[in-house]
Amino acid sequence: MLNTNSCTRAVEDVKNSSGAELQSRWNKPGVCGLDNSGNSCYLNAVLQCLCSTVPLVEHLLNQDARKEFAKCRCRVAEVFARLLEKMWLGSSSICAPAETRSVLCSIFPQFNNFSQQDAQELLLYLLNALHDDLKKVAKRQTHFLKQPRKEPNRNIDAEPTIVSHLFEGQLSYTTICMHCDHQAHNTQSFTILSLPLPKDTSKCSIQDCLSLFFEETLLTGSEQMLCSECGLRRETTVLTRLEKPPEILLLHLKRFGRKGKNQVKLRTNVLFSMKLDLSAFLSCSEQNASAYHLYAVVNHMGHLNMGHYTAVCYNGPTQSWHCFDDAVLREVEDTHIQSPDVYMLLYSHKPFQKPKIQGL
């Protein structure tokens, strides 16, 4: 049932007459502001998006899974699960992601300072760290179950985790030699699609950016590719297609570009919709896998090095959208999500429902 209680004030911990703490549950599970620990808005925006990624939250807050994290010393998964627990089951509308930040900084020293960083880069690092961590659980389970191994030297990097299951997609590239028409195919997995913005326009749609990404390109001059038929470097046409659409689609807009020697931020207003159809870019005819629903947006305001990040996320239990500006949060209508500051878009193939979390 929808929570129709209109009170959005934080429910503080209260003390009873004996002095023991009675914990009251904050009435909007999963809607929790994050303290800024010094230029950490990029981290907070990314954490908010992951906090609203329901299948990931369900997995990380599963009690059995958490026992495995502890056994396998999955430090990233453990601290992140503790943060998600506070955000989904805690008693306050604000919490501090200090522990998550310090673990991330110990793994990736480049984030260990108080300067502004790129949210897209952080998201990629965080997902990779989580994936690496969870592979230890997958490996232990394989060992424990004594599953027959087809390959004796099974590649641990190929071990699937909830991260690869949700976020990993695959692109296919078809290259055609312009001299002999020889075709070659290869595939590459991806976690985030970084989309170019059309030049010489102040306004475009997300479909325009996708069309540009999947546009047929001609490689000439120093970009020519070696043709296995000709045995020479030739002008080559490259056709990129979506081979395997991911369950969760992460789109990043390449706003930070170069103009000559200078770094610039492109301020193109990119219009997006709540639903996205990728059928035009699929390599096969698996049409039912190509429809997506928007569930989170990262915005970047201001200049290149002095900007500010916020996140707008969908909350399943309350079926409402909230804007998170570090510790400050407010509910927003879904008609007010569109923003000229959009930097990243998170879409899910399946629309999210209320998460299945013990104790929720």
Core vs surface per residue 217-245: b (16+ CB within 10 A) or e = eebeeeebbebeeeeeebbbbebbbbbbb
Cβ at position 240, least distance to Zn ion in Å: 20
What is the Cα–Cα distance from 289 to 305, expressed in whole angstroms? 38
Q: Which is nearer to Zn ion, 45 or 176 (CB)?
A: 176
Q: Which is nearer to Zn ion, 22 or 226 (CB)?
A: 226
Give 40's strand partners.
none
- 157 three-state secondary structure: helix
One of 59, 252, 308, 322 is an active-site residue; which one? 308
CA of residue 107 relative to chain centroid, distance: 19
Q: Does the active-site annotation cover 41?
A: yes
Cβ at position 222, least distance to Zn ion in Å: 18
Helix (H) or strand (E) holding 132: helix 119-145
Task: Look at phi and psi of residue 74 and say left if phi exceeds 0, alpha if psi is from -120 to 50, else beta.
Answer: beta
Cβ at position 224, least distance to Zn ion in Å: 11
Residue with tokens 């470097």: 233
The candidate with the shortest Cα–Cα distance to 249, out of 127, 173, 345, 353, is: 345
Interaction site with Zn ion (CB under 5 A): 177, 179-180, 182, 227, 229-230
Q: Which is nearer to Zn ion, 105 or 239 (CB)?
A: 239
Q: Does the active-site annotation cover 7?
A: no
Q: Which is nearer to Zn ion, 135 or 234 (CB)?
A: 234
Cβ at position 237, least distance to Zn ion in Å: 11
One of 32, 41, 74, 209 is an active-site residue; which one? 41
Catalytic residues, by residue number, are 41, 308
